[in-house]
């Protein structure tokens, strides 16, 4: 009782937000100067051809009509048809999304696995050398742009040391036939991981640094709590005190930061995919914008918005799961 | 003398090394707790009561350090140093005696198992993200070597014992679903469930309203009789002392200044500070509408006054009080030299014959209490 209903309720609440995202994306995209037709047809097209093309993509209809038919299409799972690629937008997204998801989730995995122990140790050994080092690393991490970290990694590990390939990324379960130099599935997994390392670190560093900072300060607070003293006074060992009694109540702010970090990471993926020439959602958006491919711009932006919303909902639900005081909006 | 005390604290000193100087929060206190006894530790805010209580369990956090003294409990040395050397203002080099328990031994043999604690604020003492039952069960499992299911049954039984209705249901609930009084009952259940020989209660009723306080005190008295557990009860409230304590240690600025059983303390008060503390209690039988506070404020423990630390606020202060620092001595007044258990009434005041330092001839001192100018020792000392 409670948690499930809360989940459903949060998902229902997301619907108006999605409509909002669609609306803003639609009108902003159409406000971009120039239009796809002139790009397709070059600098001096004949008026006849322009009309013909516009009619083909429905661009001759009034804006509000196009808006409502677009909404109706999305409601039925149709994100439109890409002008540039000449395939359904959804097909293109399904083709590109997995690589981006692979990158973003790996980056968060890397960030959490390093940031949580670092933050906790830092809080436990407050003002000792370990703490100073981790705080400086975190400060550098939050203030360095991810694309720059990416470029540095490429210079060091690809050009100087020649250890890792600088470009491209594919999924570990890709078909060995499509991967150059890979004979077995195992080769694909290894190669995929090698290609993942640098973009993952480049994209994850900012997350790692901000999670470390919040984990540290939250644990410092938590360790001073009366209930932590009580646990010590009842003979709980130091590990139990830190990783159970102090840790669990300290995770609420951390979850918030992770949830908010998702939007930064999705934005960061656009840059990282460009730096590492990864054919994911990020590059797709940039290509779509450059080609003024309206349906594709709208579809990809909408998809990222929806993903972010999923992140927010997961954040809210884990909040309710960890903190029994969060009410489920029931009276 | 009678049996060995359960807990013996001798010349305990705990200091906090801060940027502003060394705070001598507990400055050489001695007291005993016998089995099954309820001993009060009384004083104003800042007297060092809570620090003294926590020092016994060695739960003082940095920058606090127990710098000297001896604490023995059931023959075990909880605190005991070979020698202490160091510069003033710096934490001293401490050489622990061989028999002093290690941190690990404190954790596994003493904390929770032999000495349990109840903190002041029941709202903050329970972890908000775990159920009340799971917290209770964890501590019982840890300190009584019971299996999970046995510990659970014991936890529910203890909740019932401390008067929590529907204990089975309450076991599954979180702290925010409990009222302040109910949470304090949970903490009492927690302390008793570990079956310690001594419970340190650090102002456990201060955060509660008066009716709930009364209920909790009744509960503690009843359970204390039933389980025969000794208590150190830290409080600033003489009313609470009168209601539940067997013996009392009155603290002022890091020192115990009077030590007596509760009747003697109330009816045969020996120290002017205790007198002032008693006089400041609001009493329904007194007809004048005014309260009778102790004049002045307690000086800072960074820079305690010379001589008797209370001389700046003492109505009986004389010139000698500024020079001579009285230690805690047995007061002989003919009638008795100790109660039926041989426990002696002690006070640290040169007024008494036990001190022969020339109090009667000394000039009266004008200070905050006698209404004269402010005697400046504390003021001179502070910035």
Nearest-neighbour CA in chain B from A324: distance (Å):
6
In this prediction, residue B113 carries a pLDDT of 92
DSSP for A174-185 reads: S-GGGSTT--SH
- Of the candidates B99, B70, B72, the one whose C-alpha atom is nearest the C-alpha of residue B84 is B70
pTM of the model: 0.82
Residue finishing a domain among B252, B286, B310 = B252
Question: How confident is residue B370, by pLDDT bands cut at 50, 70 and 90?
Answer: low
Long-range contacts of A281-286 (CB under 8 A, 24+ apart): A281/A93, A281/A96, A281/A97, A281/A99, A281/A100, A282/A100, A283/A96, A284/A92, A284/A93, A284/A96
**Token pair for A266:** 């999705």
pLDDT of B379 > 60? The answer is: no
Q: Residue A272 sits in which domain range?
A: 89-322
Condensed to tens digits (0 to 9), the pLDDT of residues B24-47 reads: 899 999 999 999 899 999 988 888
B152 and B281 part of one domain: no
Helices (H) and strands (E) in chain B, counts: 13, 13
pLDDT of B208 > 70? The answer is: yes
Q: Where is average pLDDT lowest: A82-86, B108-112, B163-167?
A: A82-86
Judge: A226–B125 Cβ closer than 8 Å, yes or no. yes
Strand partners, B231: B38, B199
Question: How confident is residue B376, by pLDDT bands cut at 50, 70 and 90?
Answer: very low
B93 and B11 part of one domain: yes
Q: Which residues of A touch B125 (CB under 8 A)?
A: 226-227, 230
Of A233, A245, A324, the CB nearest to B117: A233
B259 and B143 part of one domain: no
B212 and B320 part of one domain: no
Nearest-neighbour CA in chain B from A228: distance (Å):
8
pLDDT of B375 > 70? The answer is: no
**Token pair for A135:** 């705080």
- Which residues of chain A are modeled with pLDDT < 50? 1, 330-331
Judge: A234–B119 Cβ closer than 8 Å, yes or no. no
Q: Where are the alpha helices (DSSP H) in chain B?
A: 49-56, 103-105, 122-125, 132-144, 148-161, 167-171, 180-193, 210-227, 238-244, 262-267, 272-279, 319-323, 377-381
Q: Which residues of A touch B127 (CB under 8 A)?
A: 227, 231, 245, 248-249
pLDDT of B364 > 90? The answer is: no
**Token pair for A248:** 């669990």
Contacts of B202 (CB under 8 A, 6+ apart): B49, B50, B53, B54, B117, B118, B119, B120, B234
pLDDT, chain B, mean: 85
DSSP three-state, residue B378: helix
Residue A317's CATH number: 1.10.3720.10
In this prediction, residue B342 carries a pLDDT of 61
DSSP three-state, residue A280: coil
B205 and B310 part of one domain: no
Nearest-neighbour CA in chain B from A157: distance (Å):
45
In this prediction, residue B322 carries a pLDDT of 86
Question: For residues B262 and B282, is the Cβ–Cβ distance under 8 A?
Answer: no
B379 and B285 part of one domain: yes
Rg from Cα positions in chain B: 22
Q: Residue B276 sits in which domain range?
A: 253-383
A133 within a domain of the structure (yes/no): yes
Condensed to tens digits (0 to 9), the pLDDT of residues B233-267 reads: 999 888 889 989 999 999 999 999 999 999 889 88
Residue finishing a domain among B208, B223, B252 = B252
Question: For residues B344 and B330, is the Cβ–Cβ distance under 8 A?
Answer: yes
Judge: B125–A322 Cβ closer than 8 Å, yes or no. no
B73 and B217 part of one domain: yes
In this prediction, residue B294 carries a pLDDT of 81
Question: For residues A141 and A119, is the Cβ–Cβ distance under 8 A?
Answer: no
B323 and B373 part of one domain: yes
B348 within a domain of the structure (yes/no): yes
Question: How confident is residue B369, by pLDDT bands cut at 50, 70 and 90?
Answer: low
B218 and B346 part of one domain: no
Residue with tokens 């004048």: B288
Of B59, B138, B176, the CB nearest to A324: B176
Nearest-neighbour CA in chain B from A6: distance (Å):
19
B245 and B284 part of one domain: no
Strand ranges (E), chain A: none
pLDDT of B84 > 80? The answer is: no
Domain count, chain B: 2
A252 within a domain of the structure (yes/no): yes
Task: Name the DSSP letter for residue A88.
Answer: B
Condensed to tens digits (0 to 9), the pLDDT of residues B306-324 reads: 888 888 888 888 888 888 8
What interhelical angle do B180-193 and B210-227 show, nearest 10? 10
A26 within a domain of the structure (yes/no): no
B74 and B186 part of one domain: yes
Report the b/e string of B186-225 with b at 16+ CB within 10 A: bbbbbbbbbbbbbbbbbbbbebbeeebbebbbebbeebbe
Q: Which residues of A touch B128 (CB under 8 A)?
A: 227, 249, 323-325
Strands B230-235 and B198-202 turn out to be parallel
B174 and B276 part of one domain: no
Angle at B62 between CA B57 and CA B64, to 5 degrees: 65
Long-range contacts of A125-130 (CB under 8 A, 24+ apart): A126/A220
Q: Give the chain A residue nearest B200 (alpha carbons).
A: A233
In this prediction, residue B293 carries a pLDDT of 79
pLDDT of B195 > 60? The answer is: yes
Residue with tokens 């208590």: B231
Q: Which residue has the higher pLDDT, A331 or B96?
A: B96
Nearest-neighbour CA in chain B from A237: distance (Å):
7
Q: Rounded to whole angstroms, what are the CA distances from A252 to A111, A137, B35, B134, B219? A: 17, 23, 45, 20, 37
Q: Rounded to whole angstroms, what are the CA distances from B306 to B12, B67, B359, B375, B378? A: 20, 21, 16, 12, 9
Residue with tokens 């001896």: B70
Residue finishing a domain among B234, B252, B270 = B252
Question: For residues B184 and B178, is the Cβ–Cβ distance under 8 A?
Answer: no
In this prediction, residue A84 carries a pLDDT of 84
Contacts of B96 (CB under 8 A, 6+ apart): B80, B81, B82
Q: How many CB atoms lie within 10 A of CB B251?
A: 28
Condensed to tens digits (0 to 9), the pLDDT of residues B280-300 reads: 887 777 666 677 778 777 888
- Of the candidates B184, B175, B169, the one whose C-alpha atom is nearest the C-alpha of residue B218 is B184
Domain count, chain A: 1
Condensed to tens digits (0 to 9), the pLDDT of residues B323-344 reads: 888 888 887 654 555 555 567 8
Strands B346-347 and B329-330 turn out to be antiparallel
Residue B27's CATH number: 3.40.50.300
Q: Which residues of A touch B190 (CB under 8 A)?
A: 234
Task: Name the DSSP letter for residue B351.
Answer: T
Judge: A237–B138 Cβ closer than 8 Å, yes or no. no
Question: For residues A235 and B143, is the Cβ–Cβ distance under 8 A?
Answer: yes
Q: Which residue has the higher pLDDT, B76 or B380?
A: B76
- B121-137: average pLDDT: 91
- Of the candidates B173, B150, A157, the one whose C-alpha atom is nearest the C-alpha of residue B165 is B173
- For residues A171 and A196, what is the distance between their CA atoms, to the nearest angstrom? 9
DSSP three-state, residue B1: coil
DSSP for B86-124 reads: --TTSPPEEEE-TTBPPHHHIIIIIBTTTEEEE-S-HHH
Helix (H) or strand (E) holding B24: strand B21-33
Nearest-neighbour CA in chain B from A236: distance (Å):
7
pLDDT of B8 > 90? The answer is: yes
Judge: A325–B130 Cβ closer than 8 Å, yes or no. no
- Of the candidates B61, B81, B62, the one whose C-alpha atom is nearest the C-alpha of residue B71 is B81
Question: For residues A235 and A192, is the Cβ–Cβ distance under 8 A?
Answer: no
**A143-202 residues touching B, CB cutoff 8 A:** none
Judge: B108–A235 Cβ closer than 8 Å, yes or no. yes
Task: Name the DSSP letter for residue A243.
Answer: I
Question: For residues A209 and A189, is the Cβ–Cβ distance under 8 A?
Answer: no
Interface test with B, best of A2, A229, A233, A323 (most B CBs within 10 A): A233
In this prediction, residue B351 carries a pLDDT of 84
pLDDT of B4 > 80? The answer is: yes
Question: How confident is residue B89, by pLDDT bands cut at 50, 70 and 90?
Answer: confident
B1 within a domain of the structure (yes/no): no
Condensed to tens digits (0 to 9), the pLDDT of residues A60-119 reads: 788 888 899 889 988 888 888 888 888 999 999 999 999 999 999 999 999 999 999 999
């Amino acid at each position: 009782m409670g948690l499930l209903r809360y989940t459903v309720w949060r998902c229902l609440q997301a619907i108006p937000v999605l409509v909002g995202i669609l609306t803003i994306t639609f009108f902003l995209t159409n406000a971009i100067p120039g239009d796809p037709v002139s790009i397709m047809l070059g600098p001096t097209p004949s008026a006849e051809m322009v009309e013909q093309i516009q009619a083909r993509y429905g661009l001759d209809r009034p804006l509000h009509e196009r808006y409502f038919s677009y909404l109706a299409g999305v409601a039925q799972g149709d994100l439109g048809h890409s002008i540039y690629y000449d395939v359904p937008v959804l097909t293109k997204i399904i083709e590109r999304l997995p690589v981006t998801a692979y990158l973003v989730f790996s980056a968060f995995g890397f960030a959490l696995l390093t940031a949580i122990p670092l933050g906790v140790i830092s809080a436990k050994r407050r003002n000792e050398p370990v703490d100073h080092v981790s705080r400086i690393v975190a400060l550098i991490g939050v203030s360095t742009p991810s694309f720059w970290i990416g470029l540095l990694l490429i210079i060091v590990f690809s050009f100087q040391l020649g250890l890792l390939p600088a470009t491209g990324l594919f999924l570990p379960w890709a078909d060995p036939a499509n991967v150059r130099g890979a004979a077995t599935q195992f080769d694909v997994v290894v190669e995929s991981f090698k290609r993942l390392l640098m973009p993952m670190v480049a994209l994850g560093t900012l997350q790692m640094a901000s999670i470390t900072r919040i984990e540290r300060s939250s644990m410092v607070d938590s360790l001073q709590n009366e209930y932590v003293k009580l646990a010590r006074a009842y003979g709980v060992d130091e590990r139990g005190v830190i990783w159970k009694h102090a840790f669990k109540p300290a995770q609420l702010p951390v979850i918030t930061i992770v949830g908010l970090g998702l939007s930064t990471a999705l934005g960061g993926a656009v840059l990282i995919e460009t730096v590492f020439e990864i054919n994911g959602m990020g590059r797709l958006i940039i290509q779509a914008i450059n080609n003024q491919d309206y349906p594709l711009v709208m579809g990809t932006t909408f998809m990222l918005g929806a993903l972010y919303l999923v992140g927010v909902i997961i954040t809210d639900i884990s909040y309710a799961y960890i903190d029994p005081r969060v009410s489920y909006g029931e009276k | 003398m009678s049996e060995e005390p359960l807990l013996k604290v001798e010349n305990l000193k705990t200091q906090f090394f801060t940027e502003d100087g060394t705070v001598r929060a507990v400055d050489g206190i001695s007291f005993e707790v016998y089995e099954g006894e309820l001993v009060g530790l009384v004083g104003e805010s800042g007297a060092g009561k809570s620090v003294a209580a926590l020092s016994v369990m060695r739960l003082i956090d940095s920058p606090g350090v127990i710098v000297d003294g001896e604490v023995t409990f059931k023959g075990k040395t909880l605190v005991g140093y070979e020698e202490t050397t160091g510069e003033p203002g710096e934490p001293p080099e401490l050489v622990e005696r061989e028999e002093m328990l290690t941190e690990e031994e404190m954790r596994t043999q003493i904390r929770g198992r032999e000495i349990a604690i109840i903190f002041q604020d029941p709202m903050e003492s329970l972890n908000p993200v775990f159920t009340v039952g799971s917290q209770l069960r964890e501590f019982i499992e840890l300190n009584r070597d019971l299996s999970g299911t046995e510990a659970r049954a014991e936890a529910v039984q203890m909740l019932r014992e401390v008067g929590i209705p529907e204990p089975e249901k309450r076991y599954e609930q979180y702290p925010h679903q409990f009222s302040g009084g109910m949470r304090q009952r949970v903490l009492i259940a927690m302390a008793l469930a570990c079956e310690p020989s001594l419970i340190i209660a650090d102002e456990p009723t201060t955060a509660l309203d008066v009716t709930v306080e009364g209920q909790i005190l009744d509960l503690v008295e009843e359970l204390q009789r039933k389980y025969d557990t000794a208590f150190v009860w830290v409080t600033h409230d003489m009313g609470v002392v009168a209601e539940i304590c067997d013996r009392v240690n009155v603290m002022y600025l890091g020192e115990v200044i009077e030590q007596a059983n509760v009747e003697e303390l109330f009816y045969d008060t020996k120290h002017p500070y205790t007198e002032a503390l008693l006089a400041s209690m609001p009493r329904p039988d007194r007809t004048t509408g005014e309260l009778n506070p102790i004049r002045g404020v307690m000086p800072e423990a960074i820079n305690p006054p010379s001589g008797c630390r209370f001389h700046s606020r003492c109505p009986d202060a004389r010139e000698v009080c500024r020079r001579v620092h009285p230690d805690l001595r047995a007061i002989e007044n003919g009638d008795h030299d100790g109660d039926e258990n041989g426990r002696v009434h002690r006070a640290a005041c040169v007024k008494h014959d036990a001190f022969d330092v020339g109090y009667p001839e000394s000039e009266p001192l004008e200070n905050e209490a006698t209404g004269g100018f402010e005697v400046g020792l504390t003021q001179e000392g502070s910035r």
